[in-house]
Structure 1
Amino acid sequence: MSETVLPELPQELWRAGKLELAHGVQQFLQVMRVASAGLGQFLAEVESRGAKDLYGYGSTAAWFADVARLSRGEAGPIVKRAIALNPTRAVDGSEVPAVAPATAAVAAEGVIGEHRIEQILEILKKIPADTSVEDRESAEKILADLAREAGPRQLADAEANLLAWLDPDGNEPKDPEPKQPRREVTLERRRDGFWKLTGLLDDELGARTAAALEAYAKPRPVDEFGQADLRMKCERLGDAWAELLDLAIACPDQPGTSGYRTLVHVTIGLEELKTGIGKACLDFVGSMTAREARMAACDCLMLPVVLNAAGEPLDVGRLRRFVTPGQRRALNIRDHGCAFPGCHRRPKNCHAHHIHHWADGGPTDLRNLVLLCGFHHRLIHHGDWQVHMATDGLPEFIPPQYLDPLRRSRRNTLHRA
């Protein structure tokens, strides 16, 4: 390796002219690049002999990091570049040729630095594996010679031309691996019995969620009694979420529910369940009124636990299903949707309500069942409305006296228009 002579440094740089400053920068830059190339030759020789045998280090990069006071992350690329530019020897003593010998020769002249070297090495990695040795060597020489005068943009243009020449058909097309969207949902129960739902959705899922909620959160039209929907938007969105959840649970392919609306573990005294007065324990974590338990029992799977007056379990009932899929299909055909007067909800948004509750001895048959949406289901259970089956087998509703003093029976005619 030829000896490198450092240029003289003027004692007073402020006296130097612009040409002298430029020449000084170029000279020192060349010295640095030549020195870097020489350093690479030494590192390649250490790699060939084995850093462990020479110095007791597990790798050349580890040894060089200590010698140069660098981190492993800083030393690694320098050693890797040295091995790519210079021939080394395998364990059996055979020579391992350099990946880019032409680039190494140009680097030894001091005309290209580490960034252009890395750019050339990255281009060489893209050359197809089945390219002949002659074509690969020719491509590398073109890049090395071009790097003498060219910058990064010209090398990038040359890369495109070379790859088009070496591999005109390009890589086999394949679908890019889709990026995993970021979606987060947190559900926690508060001390007051309410559940707090928070989440973070990616743009696509957020748009789908907003569209689904908006579709079910539209204000109810003014009914025939002149009552308007007075819910705030946040309340309408909450009710829409409940409806979407009901739809998902009712799906036949839903894991764990098999199309049943829900599975409720209700711990309640038998008298409370019959009268609707009192409290019930819901799924061992929350509480609900006995009236709400009666409503939940209309169209779900229920596991009743009967307690005595002292609160001791007397009997754990068998899992009971109240409305069969066949009965549900028959209800859909008969009622066409929510049977409450003036309601437009379709069958998929409805629950099957027991007119005469099963806890009071009411049977689970079509003459005792009616389809109701969530809102009107609650209205029947908690309000003064009444429902009965007419002589023609269709449900009729009797309004409270404050709405109609004569309490004349009414039907939903929207579904049969």
Structure 2
Amino acid sequence: MAGNVDVVDRTFALHADPVAIADCLGELFALMRSCEAAIGAMLVGVEQRGVMELFGYRSVSRFLEHLVDLPRQAAEVLVKRARQLQPGLALDGTSIPALAPEVAVVARAGRLSNPMIDTIVGVLRDTPLEHRERVEQDLLGFAADAGHKQVAVLGARILAHLHPDGQPPQDAEPARPDRELSLRRKRSGVWELHGRFDDETGTRASAVLDALAQRRSTDEGPDLRSPLERYGDAFSDAIDLAANSPELPMQAGERTHVMVAISLDDLKTGIGKALLGDTGTISAAEARLHACDCMIIPAVLGSHSEPLDVGRLRRLVPPGIRRALYLRDRGCAFPGCHRPPRHCQGHHIRHWSEGGPTELGNLVLMCAHHHRLLHRSGWEVRIAADGLPEFLPPTWLDRRRKPRRNNLHEPLPFAA
């Protein structure tokens, strides 16, 4: 282990390098998961032998509640999970095979999280008996290099292949509208939003924000944002989607837009500030991020900021290349991200302000969250030999920096 368990504490985290910290945490979690799997197996044995006969309690959950001060609900979840991994007993005392015996072996080794176990077990429960062993092996093999959300997507595809079905859409009668909204900017640069809506509008807004505010626990690690932060980011994403809609009304003969003004030198260095709209400001680094995929109007200003020459408007990622990106990446290309193409921006692998060309081999489709992550983290992206994007994780996550790809998006049905 990276350090003795007795001395692995805050001091270790303050002084060790990122790789050692990540290794230590991984080993500690593996130990914890292995112990939990062993506890679950023992509790199933106690249950089958008879907890009443052994300890005088009516259920294992009540027994644990008094033995180790474990809440009854948590104990019930633990035992329920373990029952799926261990052989059962019929009324005549004969053994019933476990639903997921191979999952039990891997779980006992500490290599599966509880969400991963629940995901695989949920798929196997709906899998016909004759396919269950093969499906379990496929899911476990995939789980070695993926998170539980990606395994859930693969499981859903397997079940859809084994049980093709669908549900007809349901239409709802619209409610009578009753809506009010105010949006104002404070001197600090913070905007305040207040409003009231009818039930139908509120429900639709809630559904949109709920979808956009899901936790993004992808390959870069867990999502540590608070609920308020996630819904704030979701509102920003919803505004981006609306602003990019071709059905948005024109203003003064132009598509709705926000002007960002910055000098070319500041854009290249990422140091300084940019003018946002009429009165706001953003950092040059933030402007650099937006410059990956935007409309550019070059302008020459005089010593008193008077316009001397204004060039023609041009889009950095033209429609043809954007359509090619949609077809190639099928959505955000970051490993584990499910965002579709309409939620994404074109990112220049070699930055445009540094001479990077606006061509398919230098572009990758990314959602706003992972676009920002790439600009500020140790993740790197490149185009592989087969023409598809792949991401190199930071060394603290994988010291080998093994390339990763996103396999959540459905490939084109007619692709080779």
Normalised by the size of structure 1, how large is the TM-score?
A: 0.52
Give the structure 2 partner of residue 247 of structure 1: 241
Work out whether 1:210 is the aligned partner of 2:202: no
Give the structure 2 partner of residue 334 of structure 1: 328
Task: For 1:299-314, list aligned pairs within 5 A.
Answer: 299-306=293-300
Give the structure 2 partner of residue 184 of structure 1: 180
Deviations 1:341-383 (A, max 9, x none): 1212111211111112222222211111110011101111222
Work out whether 1:295 is the aligned partner of 2:289: yes
3-state SS, counterpart of residue 298 of structure 1: coil
CA contact (8 A) 1:388 1:397 kept: yes
Work out whether 1:278 is the aligned partner of 2:278: no
3-state SS, counterpart of residue 408 of structure 1: coil
Alpha carbons of structure 1 residues 278 and 310: separation in structure 2 relative to 1, 3 Å: farther
Work out whether 1:395 is the aligned partner of 2:389: yes
Alpha carbons of structure 1 residues 307 and 362: separation in structure 2 relative to 1, 3 Å: farther
3-state SS, counterpart of residue 216 of structure 2: coil
Once the two structures are TM-superposed, the CA of residue 298 in structure 1 deviates from its matched residue by: 1.8
Deviations 1:174-218 (A, max 9, x none): xxxx99732111111111212111111122211221122112212
Give the structure 2 partner of residue 228 of structure 1: 222
CA contact (8 A) 1:185 1:198 kept: yes
Normalised by the size of structure 2, how large is the TM-score?
A: 0.52
Higher relative contact order (CA 8 A, sep 6+): 2
CA contact (8 A) 2:270 2:285 kept: yes
Once the two structures are TM-superposed, the CA of residue 414 in structure 1 deviates from its matched residue by: 2.5
Alpha carbons of structure 1 residues 382 and 264: separation in structure 2 relative to 1, 3 Å: farther
Give the structure 2 partner of residue 157 of structure 1: none
Task: For 1:357-368, list aligned pairs within 5 A.
Answer: 357-368=351-362
Alpha carbons of structure 1 residues 330 and 198: separation in structure 2 relative to 1, 3 Å: same
Give the structure 2 partner of residue 193 of structure 1: 189
Deviations 1:73-108 (A, max 9, x none): xxxxxxxxxxxxxxxxxxxxxxxxxxxxxxxxxxxx
Work out whether 1:319 is the aligned partner of 2:280: no
Over the residues paired in the alignment, what is the CA RMSD in angstroms? 2.8
State the one-letter code of the partner of 2:263.
G
CA contact (8 A) 1:263 1:302 kept: no
Task: For 1:6-405, list aligned pairs within 5 A.
Answer: 181-221=177-217, 223-224=218-219, 227-256=221-250, 263-306=257-300, 315-405=309-399
CA distance, structure 1, for counterparts of residue 215 and residue 225 of structure 2: 8
- In our comparison, the structure showing a higher alpha carbon Rg is 1
Alpha carbons of structure 1 residues 391 and 179: separation in structure 2 relative to 1, 3 Å: closer
Q: How many positions carry a matched residue from both structures?
A: 237
State the one-letter code of the partner of 2:227.
K
CA distance, structure 2, for counterparts of residue 207 and residue 179 of structure 1: 11
CA contact (8 A) 1:269 1:308 kept: no
CA distance, structure 1, for counterparts of residue 394 and residue 373 of structure 2: 11
Once the two structures are TM-superposed, the CA of residue 408 in structure 1 deviates from its matched residue by: 3.2
Alpha carbons of structure 1 residues 305 and 284: separation in structure 2 relative to 1, 3 Å: farther
3-state SS, counterpart of residue 292 of structure 2: helix
Which stretch of the first structure deviates more once superposed, 350-359 or 367-376? 350-359
Once the two structures are TM-superposed, the CA of residue 325 in structure 1 deviates from its matched residue by: 2.2
3-state SS, counterpart of residue 364 of structure 1: coil
Alpha carbons of structure 1 residues 385 and 310: separation in structure 2 relative to 1, 3 Å: farther
CA contact (8 A) 2:249 2:256 kept: no
Q: Which runs of 5+ in 1 are unaligned?
A: 1-177
Once the two structures are TM-superposed, the CA of residue 289 in structure 1 deviates from its matched residue by: 0.7
CA distance, structure 1, for counterparts of residue 403 and residue 264 of structure 2: 32
Deviations 1:262-287 (A, max 9, x none): 73422222111001111111123210
